[in-house]
């Protein structure tokens, strides 16, 4: 239903920007790159505005559209926010978004508050790549490069088709992308299994301090530990999922210091709604996977999160 207005807005625009959430993950990067490639098929050269991300995504086609210049110079005719549930999570790109003449919001986060002029938010979709597939397949032919970027996003946001957000439609789309030529063994290894030495070092620090109490698995890393391992936020992605995979655990919470007194909380759950808990701290995400940034000391922030989770876990049974 939006395809016609999207095509018109793209064709009429001179300056087009695409952006996503801070600390972009596989789904955010894959959906941004795939959408940029789709636009280039319409004869446009969009600017993709994304923060620092894991180098392994550099090999994806679409990275050639990344804009590394001054954001203050960008006054877009149209901007697409993809995979961002909350306008404030656009980070530096938020000001560019606010200056744009026409705004779009393509997403799948349940916490999304429809912050754009045009909102294509499907909370049933496994990933923003699934949302982007449904849109762009209406007006361009998906080639192997676009298919690969989309497949990476679907694969990483579903945890390899394991999370409950994975639907029949997710598999249909993935099948379609495979038929276009995605090299699935290579993509699974590179984007799901492989980690760097730095990832492993910070993982070891975090897991060595892991605790399980009342079916809640928790751990944390300090800024000093991050520095010692040479790690940044992008190296800690695997930790919270590992916590949740612990036998008997219902909810996992991972806390990490992000400098200037900011603590990032990541929640994963097998059934409890952790989007609700994250939103207490001004964050959000999905029912079973959510996050928030909180100011305070890491121990106090983590303790507070544990008690909020515990309250809900035992109230509801």
Residues of this chain that bind Mn ion (CB under 5 A): 27, 83, 127-128, 157
Nearest to 80 by CA among 41, 119, 42: 119
For the CB of residue 22, give the shortest distance to Mn ion in the complex, in Å: 13
Among residues 105 and 218, whose Cβ is nearest to Mn ion?
Answer: 105
Among residues 83 and 199, whose Cβ is nearest to Mn ion?
Answer: 83
Q: Which stretches does DSSP call E strand in 78-215?
A: 78-82, 102-107, 118-121, 211-213
Question: Going by C-beta distance under 8 Å and a sequence separation of 6 or more, which residues neighbour residue 147?
Answer: 176, 177, 180, 181, 182
For the CB of residue 72, give the shortest distance to Mn ion in the complex, in Å: 28
- CA gap 240, 290 in Å, rounded: 11
- CA gap 228, 125 in Å, rounded: 39
For the CB of residue 257, give the shortest distance to Mn ion in the complex, in Å: 24
* 84 three-class SS: coil
293 and 283 Cβ atoms separated by less than 8 Å? yes
- CA gap 190, 100 in Å, rounded: 36
Among residues 23 and 127, whose Cβ is nearest to Mn ion?
Answer: 127
For the CB of residue 286, give the shortest distance to Mn ion in the complex, in Å: 8
Nearest to 249 by CA among 276, 218, 283, 221: 218
Among residues 154 and 249, whose Cβ is nearest to Mn ion?
Answer: 154
Among residues 146 and 301, whose Cβ is nearest to Mn ion?
Answer: 146
Surface-to-core class of residue 190, CB atoms within 10 Å of its CB (0-12 exposed, 13-18 middle, 19+ buried): middle
Tell me the β-bridge partners of 212: 217
For the CB of residue 120, give the shortest distance to Mn ion in the complex, in Å: 14
Among residues 157 and 237, whose Cβ is nearest to Mn ion?
Answer: 157
Among residues 119 and 222, whose Cβ is nearest to Mn ion?
Answer: 119
Among residues 157 and 199, whose Cβ is nearest to Mn ion?
Answer: 157
For the CB of residue 20, give the shortest distance to Mn ion in the complex, in Å: 9
Question: If you search the block for the tokens 């018109």, which residue do you land on?
Answer: 8
For the CB of residue 124, give the shortest distance to Mn ion in the complex, in Å: 13
Nearest to 89 by CA among 46, 43, 134, 51: 51
Among residues 219 and 275, whose Cβ is nearest to Mn ion?
Answer: 275
Tell me the β-bridge partners of 79: 17, 103
Question: If you search the block for the tokens 């909370």, which residue do you land on?
Answer: 123
For the CB of residue 23, give the shortest distance to Mn ion in the complex, in Å: 12
For the CB of residue 27, give the shortest distance to Mn ion in the complex, in Å: 3
Closest residue to bound Mn ion by CB:
27
Surface-to-core class of residue 227, CB atoms within 10 Å of its CB (0-12 exposed, 13-18 middle, 19+ buried): exposed
Question: If you search the block for the tokens 């676009």, which residue do you land on?
Answer: 146
């Amino acid at each position: 239903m939006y395809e016609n207005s999207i095509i018109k807005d793209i064709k009429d625009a001179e300056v087009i920007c695409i952006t996503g959430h801070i600390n972009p993950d596989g789904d955010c990067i894959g959906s941004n790159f795939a959408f940029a490639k789709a636009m280039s098929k319409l004869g446009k050269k969009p600017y993709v505005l994304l923060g620092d991300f894991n180098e392994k995504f550099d090999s994806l086609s679409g990275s050639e559209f990344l804009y590394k210049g001054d954001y203050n110079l960008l006054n877009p005719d149209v901007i697409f926010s993809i995979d961002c549930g909350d306008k404030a999570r656009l980070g530096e790109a938020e000001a560019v978004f606010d200056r744009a003449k026409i705004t779009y919001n393509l997403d799948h986060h349940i916490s999304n508050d429809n912050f754009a002029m045009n909102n294509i938010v499907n909370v049933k979709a496994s990933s923003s790549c699934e949302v982007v597939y449904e849109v762009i397949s209406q007006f361009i032919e998906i080639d192997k490069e676009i298919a690969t970027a989309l497949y990476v996003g679907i694969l990483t946001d579903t945890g390899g088709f394991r999370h409950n957000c994975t639907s029949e439609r997710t598999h249909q789309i993935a099948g379609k992308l495979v038929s276009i030529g995605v090299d699935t063994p290579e993509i699974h290894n590179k984007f799901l299994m492989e980690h760097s030495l730095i990832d492993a070092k910070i993982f070891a620090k975090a897991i060595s301090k892991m605790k399980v109490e009342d079916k809640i698995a928790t751990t944390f890393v300090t800024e000093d530990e991050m520095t010692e391992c040479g790690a940044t936020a992008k190296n800690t992605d695997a930790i919270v999922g590992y916590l949740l995979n612990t036998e008997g655990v219902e909810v996992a919470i991972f806390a990490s210091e992000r400098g200037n007194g900011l603590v990032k909380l990541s929640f994963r759950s097998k059934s409890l709604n952790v989007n609700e808990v994250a939103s207490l701290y001004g964050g959000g995400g999905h029912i079973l996977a959510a996050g928030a940034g909180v100011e305070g000391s890491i121990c106090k922030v983590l303790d507070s999160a544990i008690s909020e989770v515990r309250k809900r876990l035992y109230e509801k049974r």
